[in-house]
Amino acid sequence: MAPCGVGLAAVAPPAVGLAAVALPAVGRKSRAAGADILGGVLSGLVIVDKPQGWTSHDVVGRMRRLAGTRKVGHAGTLDPMATGVLVLGINKATRLLTYIVGTSKTYTATIRLGESTVTDDAEGEVVSSQSAAAVTEEAIRAGVAALTGDIQQVPSSVSAIKVNGERAYARVRSGEDVKLAARPVTIHRFDVHAVRPERDGAVLDVDVTVECSSGTYIRALARDLGEALGTGGHLTALRRTQVGPYTLDQARTLEQLAEELEVLEMSQAARALMPNRELSEDEATEISFGRRIAAGAGAGTPEAATADNPAAAFAPDGSLVALLADAGGYAKPVLVFAPSNEQPAT
């Protein structure tokens, strides 16, 4: 289950579009004007609508073949059962992924009350059943309200969290009873859209939308809601609709991407993701060599750029030069995106 994340850009981002990269022949790729090229391949983000049954690693492998490069990574996993937004970085844009992982996520989901499973989702064996026929919608909404805001959440025992160097799910599969420690997460929004009785009311399917911080497990919310109502509960459907500023409207299926690889260029991706700083020609030159410049306008305030939450700095031509953090009266580069020496592919 993908973690959700922290705040979005302090500066309202412009609308972000996707650059279409045609694939006319193996080994040949065109590019949008001014795009970053590394090894003949565009550097940027690809917003994938992950299909059900695929692991995030499966999608990365497919993208490596489509883009013709091994330098592909993702910004937070989705379980095989889940569908929806999976953000991939190609080439130099993989350096942006660490700043995307911690952003807020939004999901639509269906929670089934009346059954608990070993995995807290529909892929696991049912371990207990308790009729949900007496559960009212009012009680469901009260339970949801109690799970909204800042909460302490115990991740599912079959999560990818490591326990003494081994994934929790691997320990569970080997027969170990794994108990993970609770950790703080924030549920910004937990909306109930519909409550549908199934099996003559023995189970209730609850359709919800959840907006949450990084590290939240939606199936753990399903489990905890069921426990609070005395029926047990698990997740039967999950679709991620947003990761930070990147939405399902921008996402493309793998089939669509095989026809036309649509890439969000790094400059557009960074503008949407974090606060922006426009540089003069002299400042851009200094930063491109790793030198510091005068601090930004927000220095000394809570909005100051930091190493964990940097500002994206742009040259007068709009290209992404670096990510900056303010330190005292200066701004220094956290990451420098030096101009590529690669020549565009023809």
- Active site (annotated) includes residue 79: yes
Pairing of strands 233-243, 166-167: unpaired
CA separation for the pair 54, 169 (Å, rounded): 18
- Locate 237 and state its tokens: 């459907």
Tokens of 178: 């794994």
Question: Dihedral of the CA atoms 122, 233, 215, 61 (nearest 10)?
Answer: 0
C-beta atoms surrounding 287 within 10 Å: 24
Cβ contacts of 169 within 8 Å, gap of 6 or more: 157, 158, 159, 160
- Burial degree of 180 (CB within 10 A; 0-12, 13-18, 19+): middle
Among 36, 49, 58, 79, the active-site one is: 79
Helix-strand-coil split of the chain, %, nearest 5:
20, 35, 40
Q: Taking a C-beta distance cutoff of 8 angstroms, is the pair 207, 108 a contact?
A: yes
Instruction: Compute the Cα dihedral for 281, 282, 287, 293 and give only its sign.
Output: negative
Catalytic residues: 79
